[in-house]
């Protein structure tokens, strides 16, 4: 059964209309957290399933309630509203921030437009730091807080030559660069805040997690052993939402963290143990 370990805590989850963000919000709510979910899609997306309304319904189905905040995280003024509005809606300062929202566009670097490059860094790097900066003062006042940034294995360097790049080739270069920057920022912020009780970490999947967006991009090109269950990625995220102060400033891999901590992988309702495929 769900433990209730997040009872009394308030969480913000970005990119929560679908995928990892939606699943993380449901799992946090199932264990007692009050959650504020944010994304651009309130009702329907033109090409992908999932919306904030859908996620709020899933949260209610596990006994929680969700405050919904429509925001475009590529816009600095828009994202400045998120943490204050979440605190108002949830009735107090934010304890947990899960920076999951991401822009993933794959293209040859020789023709990658500046507009798209700027968009990815706005959403994948600047927005997580802006939201963290908004949440940190009250976390510092209370002497604890958890910031979890969702990263990607595309941040790693290709080794070579010859280079083995997989079926996406070098097209993930800009996306990976933004996630590499996110990892470095996380490490520095964790070091800066060491001793305050605020934990700052990133976590990336070991294999592909087939969110709706990822499935649309690369789902038909993946073999079963290249896919990680959504529940496993979420298990790693929620572990970092409740980690001790000494675990901070680190870059984690989901299944490796689960093995390190000896965790069981639970369903999004916190009640059943999901099969550990991909481990």
Q: 50: which residues sit within 8 A by CB, 6+ positions away?
A: 17, 18, 19, 22, 41, 212
Roughly what angle, to the nearest 10 degrees, separates helices 173-193 and 127-142?
20
The one catalytic residue in 6, 121, 146, 175 is: 175
> Kind and range of the H or E element at 11?
strand 10-14
Neighbours of 170 (CB within 10 A): 16
Distances (CA, A) of 92 to 30, 83, 258: 20, 11, 31
Q: Is 175 a catalytic residue?
A: yes
Tell me if 54 sits within 8 A of 25, measured CB to CB: no
Instruction: Find residue 203's DSSP bridge partners.
Output: 150, 252
Cα–Cα distance for residue pair 147/175, rounded to 1 Å: 21
> Kind and range of the H or E element at 130?
helix 127-142
Distances (CA, A) of 230 to 33, 166, 198, 221, 227: 20, 22, 26, 18, 9
Burial of 224 from C-beta contacts in 10 A (0-12 / 13-18 / 19+): exposed
Instruction: Find residue 69's DSSP bridge partners.
Output: 38
Q: Tell me the catalytic residues.
A: 175
């Amino acid at each position: 059964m769900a433990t209730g370990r997040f009872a009394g805590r308030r969480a913000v989850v970005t990119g929560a209309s679908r995928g990892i963000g939606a699943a993380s919000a449901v799992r946090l709510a199932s264990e007692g957290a009050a959650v504020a979910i944010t994304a651009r899609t309130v009702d329907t997306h033109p090409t992908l399933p999932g919306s904030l309304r859908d996620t709020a319904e899933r949260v209610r189905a596990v006994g929680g309630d969700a405050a919904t905040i429509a925001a475009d995280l590529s816009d600095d003024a828009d994202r400045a509203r998120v943490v204050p509005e979440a605190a108002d809606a949830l009735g107090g300062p934010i304890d947990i921030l899960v920076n999951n929202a991401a822009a993933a566009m794959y293209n040859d670097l020789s023709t990658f437009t500046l507009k798209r490059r700027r968009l990815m860094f706005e959403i994948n790097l600047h927005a997580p730091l802006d939201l963290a900066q908004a949440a940190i003062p009250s976390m510092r006042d209370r002497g604890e807080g958890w910031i979890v940034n969702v990263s990607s294995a595309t941040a790693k360097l290709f080794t070579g030559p010859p280079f083995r790049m997989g079926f996406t080739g070098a097209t993930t270069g800009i996306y990976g660069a933004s996630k590499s920057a996110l990892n470095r920022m996380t490490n520095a912020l964790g070091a800066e805040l060491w001793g305050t009780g605020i934990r700052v970490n990133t976590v990336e999947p070991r294999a592909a997690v087939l969110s709706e967006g990822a499935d649309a991009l690369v789902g038909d090109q993946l073999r079963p052993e290249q896919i990680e269950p959504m529940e496993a990625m979420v298990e790693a995220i929620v572990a970092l939402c409740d980690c001790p102060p000494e675990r901070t400033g680190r870059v984690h891999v989901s299944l490796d963290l689960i093995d390190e901590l000896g965790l069981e992988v639970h369903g999004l309702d916190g009640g059943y143990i999901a099969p550990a495929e991909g481990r």
